[in-house]
Amino acid sequence: MLTIEAPATINLFTINDIYNQTITKIKHKMQISYDLSNVKEIDTTGVAFLLELKSYAKKVNADIKLINAPTHLHELSKLYQIIL
């Protein structure tokens, strides 16, 4: 299993680098844990990124688990009525 640590900030300004680095890492892995414990700031772009990660993993037959999500991320996902 591959564990990827999320950066502290996932937003409109950081998403391109984060997306490219993360997709490259999960292309050939079957099981991935994306550790969100470091996330201090996330906006709607970041939430969309997490949903895209799950979608991409499904396309390449990988299983991705979002782990250690901070409270503010749970609150944001509830606001948008989505399950991460």
Residue 30 is predicted with a pLDDT of 84
Is the pLDDT at 84 greater than 80? The verdict is no
| Residue at 84 is within a domain | no
Residue 25 is predicted with a pLDDT of 86
| Residue at 31 is within a domain | yes
| Residue at 7 is within a domain | yes
Beta strands, E only, 18-80 = 31-35, 41-42, 63-67
Question: pLDDT tens digits for 72-81?
Answer: 888 888 887 8
Question: pLDDT tens digits for 14-35?
Answer: 999 999 989 888 887 889 999 9
| CATH number for position 46 | 3.30.750.24
Counted domains in the chain: 1
Q: Residue 43 to residues 1, 2, 9, 59: CA-CA distances in angstroms?
A: 28, 25, 9, 25
In 3-state terms, the chain is what percent helix, strand and coil (to 5)? 45, 20, 35
Tokens representing 17 are 């680098």
Determine the structural domain holding residue 50 and report its residue range. Answer: 2-79
| Residue at 57 is within a domain | yes
Residue 65 is predicted with a pLDDT of 94
> What SS3 class is residue 5?
strand
